[in-house]
């Protein structure tokens, strides 16, 4: 891709002979652009060309603004805007003549290589140049300064203007300190918080002030909540809240991990850090703005912050090939007497559709790491793909809670059949298919390799070392990763996101995810953890019901559970079932 330095020598030479004014840029009257990239210039149709043309065709830039922004002479700026605005010198009228090619711009008197360089620099500054995004990833678990929480706190401490956060769960002290520091420096912080949906119900002001939301408001963070589940884990630092030009320089964070100690140091997670992407910044900002508009104030003492004034959308920035933000919000509409009530369109499944399309397009491999596998369209697409391409490398790593026994699977299938038999309309039958359904056993029966991150006889949140990532890598050159759980609840009751990458520009990102998948898919296997655990269960007087995580196949989980039941007669008693946290071992 052409960079400014590639035409620097030509530009410098042109400037020396152009007779331009001091500190202002102007070429000779008939100076021509370099013929293209091969000649050190810019090719027609390139991202640089598109950005420059978008700049000079922006009618919000009059001659004075163009002169000041690009540091060109008044003659150059006037010549450009006169050609663009037509004989009446009024933009938006019938005689306008927008620039369609670089050749048209080159034909303007006193516009040559030096001017092109200046215009390109301004286009870049205004976020108009569609360059490849800079994307890195932190996989949990990590420790100390290597966690995603530590890096998020660092980004917040570097904020200059604004911070917009939308998150399900947050409890990290380092991030709390960074937010207080930011507010103290005059940075405006808005916080969409799922926890605020509960904190708002605390009627006593003193008690509410001690809640997570109350503590945020106490330091000057404006906290709001929405009437659906907010499952984002996103951060926008110095984004295009009030200036579209800030899209190019915004810093973004998103992923599967909440901002908590367990999300950082216990669970398997993936958190993306993104820079140099005006498109993703515009998409995240637009999503935040829509939710902020449709949210409700917590009213716990912080100054109320208004709506974004830039009202940016992805149409305001150049398209970046191979990069998109997927959202469940298109499944929802905003209404109600308070103009803050979201309702779902049950026939809309925009995120699920993208997962299915990626699965159907796979040619070599599909690797999925997901806390859940309860989304029928995705499960059925995987089963169909395996049937059509038996040799395709499909591997899926799930959290232990997705395991379902043979009897449990039979029961859920019977319940589905009963629901559909009772349905009298197609809509009712479709509703039956939306009910929660665990597809792990069905995938195994279809010949798909499935493993479970197993760490206990009975799943319980108090000790669960969850497989909490939500990503899929297809053919080693396509990635979907974000907050989205594979469930209909996530699709149609929850605000979710996922970044979708395709093409060769992000090969390093794909490689990082493939390496992570290969590692977690083998958790504990090289160390022989299952063999050691089985021996312990068979001989020890105290049988462990919670144990180090290991990646187990369906049959390995099933056999391990049978072994534990055979050696611990009370493991399925009411007491053990109802209070798993208190029963991490079992006497023989």
pLDDT digits (tens, 9 = 90+) for 536-572: 999 999 999 999 999 999 999 999 999 999 999 999 9
Same domain? 329 vs 375: yes
Same domain? 192 vs 50: no
Tell me the torsion sign for CA atoms 417, 419, 424, 425: negative
Final residue in a domain of this structure, among 100, 125, 150: 125
pLDDT-flagged residues of the chain (< 70): 1-22, 36-40, 47, 129-131
Structural contact between residues 481 and 255, judged by C-beta atoms closer than 8 angstroms: yes
| Neighbouring-strand partners of residue 436 | none
Quick one: which of 234, 156, 150, 221 has its CA closest to 190? 221
Look at residue 577 in the predicted model and tell me its pLDDT: 97
Quick one: 28 exposed, middle or buried, by C-beta within 10 A (0-12, 13-18, 19+)?
A: middle
Q: Let me know the angle formed at the C-alpha of 304 by 299 and 306, rounded to the nearest 5 degrees.
A: 135
Number of separate domains in the chain: 3
SS3 letters for 168-185? CCECCHHHHHHHHHHHHC
First vs last C-alpha separation in the chain: 68
Q: Does residue 337 belong to any structural domain of this protein? A: yes
Same domain? 444 vs 550: yes
Look at residue 327 in the predicted model and tell me its pLDDT: 98
Q: How many CB atoms lie within 10 A of CB 101?
A: 12
Same domain? 307 vs 325: no
H or E stretch covering 292: helix 278-293
Q: Does residue 410 belong to any structural domain of this protein? A: no
Q: Does residue 409 belong to any structural domain of this protein? A: no
Same domain? 284 vs 346: no
Look at residue 318 in the predicted model and tell me its pLDDT: 86
| Neighbouring-strand partners of residue 478 | 474, 502
Quick one: 71 exposed, middle or buried, by C-beta within 10 A (0-12, 13-18, 19+)?
A: middle
Q: Does residue 40 belong to any structural domain of this protein? A: yes
Same domain? 118 vs 172: no
Look at residue 48 in the predicted model and tell me its pLDDT: 80
Quick one: which of 267, 195, 199 has its CA closest to 229? 195
**Cα–Cα distance list, 518 to 396, 451, 499 (Å):** 11, 12, 21
Range of the domain at 88: 4-125
Per the document, the length of the chain is: 588
Same domain? 504 vs 457: yes
Final residue in a domain of this structure, among 125, 152, 167: 125
Is 370 in a helix, a strand, or coil? strand
Look at residue 17 in the predicted model and tell me its pLDDT: 34
Q: Does residue 484 belong to any structural domain of this protein? A: no
What is the C-alpha to C-alpha distance for residues 40 and 47, in angstroms, rounded to an integer? 15
Same domain? 194 vs 312: yes
Same domain? 138 vs 39: no
CB within 8 Å of 254: residues ≥ 6 apart: 232, 233, 234, 235, 271, 272, 274, 284, 482, 483, 497, 499
H or E stretch covering 388: helix 376-388
pTM: 0.81
CB within 8 Å of 284: residues ≥ 6 apart: 234, 236, 239, 252, 254, 325, 497
- Beta strand 188-193 with 222-225 is parallel
Q: Does residue 510 belong to any structural domain of this protein? A: yes
Q: Does residue 105 belong to any structural domain of this protein? A: yes
Same domain? 332 vs 268: no
In angstroms, how far apart are the furthest CA atoms of the chain? 95
- Beta strand 393-399 with 365-370 is parallel
Q: Does residue 485 belong to any structural domain of this protein? A: no
Same domain? 198 vs 84: no
Q: What CATH number is associated with residue 326?
A: 3.30.870.10
Final residue in a domain of this structure, among 294, 320, 346: 320
Same domain? 300 vs 335: no
């Amino acid at each position: 891709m052409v960079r400014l330095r590639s035409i620097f020598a030509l530009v410098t030479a042109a400037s020396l002979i152009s007779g331009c004014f001091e500190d202002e840029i102007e070429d000779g009257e008939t100076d021509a652009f370099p013929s293209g990239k091969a000649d050190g210039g810019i090719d027609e149709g390139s991202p640089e060309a598109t950005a420059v043309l978008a700049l000079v065709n922006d009618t919000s830039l009059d001659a004075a603004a163009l002169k000041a922004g690009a540091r060109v002479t008044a003659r150059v700026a006037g010549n450009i805007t006169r050609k663009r605005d037509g004989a009446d010198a009024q933009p938006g009228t019938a005689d306008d003549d927008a620039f369609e090619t670089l050749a048209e711009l080159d034909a303007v008197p006193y516009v040559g290589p030096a001017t092109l360089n200046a215009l390109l620099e301004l286009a870049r500054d205004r976020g108009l140049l569609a360059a490849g995004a800079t994307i890195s990833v932190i996989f949990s678990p990590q420790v100390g300064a290597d966690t995603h929480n530590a890096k998020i706190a660092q980004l917040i401490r570097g904020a200059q203007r604004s911070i917009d956060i939308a998150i399900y769960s947050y409890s990290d002290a380092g991030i709390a300190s960074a937010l207080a520091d930011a507010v103290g420096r005059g940075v405006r912080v808005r916080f969409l918080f799922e926890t605020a949906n509960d904190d708002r119900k605390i009627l006593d002001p003193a008690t509410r002030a001690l809640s997570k939301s109350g503590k945020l408001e106490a330091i000057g963070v404006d906290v709001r909540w929405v009437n659906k589940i907010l499952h984002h884990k996103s951060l926008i630092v110095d984004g295009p809240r009030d200036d579209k030009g800030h899209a190019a320089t915004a810093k973004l964070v998103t992923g599967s991990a909440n901002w908590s100690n367990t999300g950082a140091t216990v669970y398997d997670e993936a958190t993306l850090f993104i820079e140099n992407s005006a498109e993703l910044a515009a998409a995240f900002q637009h999503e935040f703005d829509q939710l902020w508009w449709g949210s409700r104030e917590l009213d716990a003492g912080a100054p109320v912050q208004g709506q974004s004034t830039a009202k940016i959308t992805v149409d305001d920035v150049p398209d970046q090939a191979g990069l998109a933000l997927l959202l469940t919000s298109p499944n929802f509409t905003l209404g109600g007497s308070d103009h803050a009530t979201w309702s779902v369109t049950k026939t809309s499944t925009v995120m699920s559709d993208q997962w299915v399309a990626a699965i159907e397009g796979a040619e070599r491999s599909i690797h999925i790491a997901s806390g859940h596998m309860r989304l029928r369209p995705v499960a059925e697409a995987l089963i169909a793909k395996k049937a059509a391409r038996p040799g395709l490398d499909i591997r899926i790593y799930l959290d232990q809670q997705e395991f379902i026994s043979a009897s449990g699977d039979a029961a859920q299938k019977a319940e589905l059949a009963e629901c559909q038999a009772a349905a009298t309309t197609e809509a009712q039958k479709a509703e039956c298919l939306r009910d929660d359904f665990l597809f792990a056993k069905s995938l195994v029966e279809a010949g798909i390799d499935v493993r479970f991150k197993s760490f206990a006889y009975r799943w319980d949140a108090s000790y669960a070392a969850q497989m909490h990532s939500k990503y899929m890598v297809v053919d080693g050159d396509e990635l979907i990763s974000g907050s989205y759980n594979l469930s209909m609840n996530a699709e149609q009751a929850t605000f979710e996101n996922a970044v979708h990458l395709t093409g060769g520009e992000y090969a390093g990102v794909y490689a990082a995810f493939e390496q992570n998948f290969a590692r977690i898919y083998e958790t504990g296997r090289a160390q022989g953890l299952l063999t050691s655990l089985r021996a312990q269960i068979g001989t020890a007087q105290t049988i462990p019901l919670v144990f180090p995580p290991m990646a187990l196949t369906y049959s390995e989980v099933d056999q391990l559970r049978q072994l534990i039941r055979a050696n611990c007669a009370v493991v399925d008693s009411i007491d053990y079932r109802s209070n798993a946290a208190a029963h991490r071992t079992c006497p023989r």
